A and B are shown apart, each in its own frame.
Chain A
Amino acid sequence: MSFDNLDTLYRQVIMDHYKNPRNRGELEDDSLMIDMNNPTCGDRIQLHLQVTDGKVEDAMFEGEGCSISMSSASMMTQAIKGKPIDDALKMSGAFSQMMLGEDVDSDDLELGDAEALQGVSKFPARIKCATLAWKAMEKGINEEK
């Protein structure tokens, strides 16, 4: 028995984000707060976004869930901080594409650590874990727009 296949899912960088999440917490005076959960499994995220002049000035999250959903939230906040909201939405689209196992041009993506989640595409049952935080971000920005 080998867990080689699992290693494509649980990459070191993912476990690092799970154990030491970046941007965990709340924002004071944040312009946006989005609650989202995955009703089939109980994972939940509360995303705080500070959007000023069409730019994501700051992003923080709270939540409970598995290593994939929580590391993805950590990576997502890291990736979108300082980005124009249109870029953040594009990144979310690219992330979804990556989850479907489609090739994405990584050069103009800058998904950063989130690219390590590519392996999730081989575990269909876990894709929703990985996309939860990104969906929350999309929802927040689209409502703000």
Chain B
Amino acid sequence: MDVKAIKEQFPVLDQQINGNPLVYLDSAATSQKPLTVIQALEDYYKFDNSNVHRGVHTLGTRATDKYEGAREKVKHFINAESTSQVIFTRGTTTAINTVAYSYGRSNLTEGDEIVITHMEHHSNIIPWQQAAKATGATLKYIPLQSDGTISLDDVRATITDRTKIVAMMHVSNVLGTINPIKEVAAIAHQHGAVMLVDGAQGIPHLRVDVKDLDCDFYAFSGHKMCGPTGIGVLYGKKHLLEEMEPVEFGGEMIDFVHLYDSTWKELPWKFEGGTPIIAGAVGLGAAIDFLNEVGLENIEAHEERLAAYAMEKLHTMDGITIFGPEERAGLVTFNLDDVHPHDTATVLDADGIAVRAGHHCAQPLMRWLDVTATARASFYLYNTEEDIDRLVDGLNKTKEYFGDVF
């Protein structure tokens, strides 16, 4: 994998920030976009823009072909059986909310259980809190081990015959933990529960095969995998999606509309009310082509190397706390002693290095870690060992700077 050549395809990375070459270490928040994706968006608007599924004219056909072509690409990318299982949404949050609202409210009753973990992102907590409140179901948490992983014994102890839904992130956006989705899905199924995976941090970095995972729902966003913002996907098993009611009603999703009643289109369109996110889907399709060309296996191996290198380098530093397990996806969350992560991020920014500082939309996890905020450096296919050296150098400067002013 030629990282230098890959990096050259991301124009945004080629700039100076505060007089220093940009080192972008915030891909877990959103990834940068390669030229092919930017070009696909531009071409779509320049040459093909039209509404889908209705125009008899040529542009309408082209736009529809591109939109549905993107769905086909997603289908292959996640190894779904059919394009009818690929629903375009605004992002992971909308995808999870669709399941929590539609499947949750029709299938949960008082005494039922929803099981999630203590490491979830707010987007995989709050929809379930709301579903529990609306139905009288109970929300239960799988606890974390001291290293920020979950144990299958705890999974078995938490999931019961009353459990109807298990929802879990594939990869933690804070700890970097890679969760044993396949094993948890099997346990959920033994108890008759369905399994939803928040794949926001999974699919950009790992080969995802929904059939192999045997999950019932998989939700993800385009913008963390080199695609545009505003587009995401909800994958679901066909029989479940078929029994689910739409959550948005209006144009595009209907079959027949009568004065007092209407019927819905078939899958996947019954969940895509209104003019869909056409350009976003086209951009996501281009992102999938790009990732396929580089090879997900290569990306995974590259990030594994970077994470190991970062851990090795950061472990040699004094006065730093690193959160999460040794074996992890391509991100490192940490705090410097006596320096608040916002201050760390500001000093790093002065050095041209972009990291995230805050609670990472995971307040319950922050409380478990007993911190109010942390700093996080996250890596993607365009990052290099040199970027990590710059980070370590920047962190040493941060310590020095705050050491001086104290």
Chain A residues close to B by CB (< 8 Å):
1-3, 5-6, 9-10, 12, 15, 19, 40-44, 64-68, 123, 125-126, 129
Contacts and interface: CB of A to CB of B under 8 A. Distances in A.
Given A1-B19, A43-B342, 7 more contacts: A3-B401, A41-B373, A42-B358, A42-B366, A43-B372, A66-B342, A129-B342
Given A5-B350, A41-B359, A42-B359, A126 B397 contact: no
A65 B347 contact: no
A12 B405 contact: yes
Contacts of B20: 1
Given A41-B359, A42-B373, A44-B372, A6 B401 contact: yes
Contacts of B18: 5
Most chain B CB inside 10 Å of its own CB: which residue of A40, A66, A67, A125 = A66
A42 B366 CA distance: 10
8 contacts: A3-B397, A10-B405, A12-B405, A41-B373, A42-B372, A43-B373, A65-B372, A123-B346
Given A5-B350, A65-B372, A129-B342, A40 B19 contact: no
Contacts of B343: 10, 66-68
A48 B359 CA distance: 25
A6 B340 contact: no
B175 interface: no
Given A19-B406, A126-B346, A66 B401 contact: no
A117 B97 CA distance: 42
B372 A64 contact: yes
A6 B347 CA distance: 7
Interface string B330-374: 000000000011110011001100000111000100100000110
A41 B401 contact: no
A3 B397 CA distance: 9
Contacts of A19: 406
Given A5-B18, A6-B346, A67 B358 contact: no
Most chain B CB inside 10 Å of its own CB: which residue of A41, A125, A129 = A41
Contacts of A65: 340, 342, 372
Contacts of B359: 41-42
A93 to B, nearest CB: 25
A41 B373 CA distance: 7
A70 to B, nearest CB: 8
Closest 7 CB pairs of A and B: A66-B342, A66-B340, A42-B359, A42-B373, A15-B405, A41-B358, A42-B372
A68 B342 contact: yes
A57 to B, nearest CB: 30
A126 B343 CA distance: 9
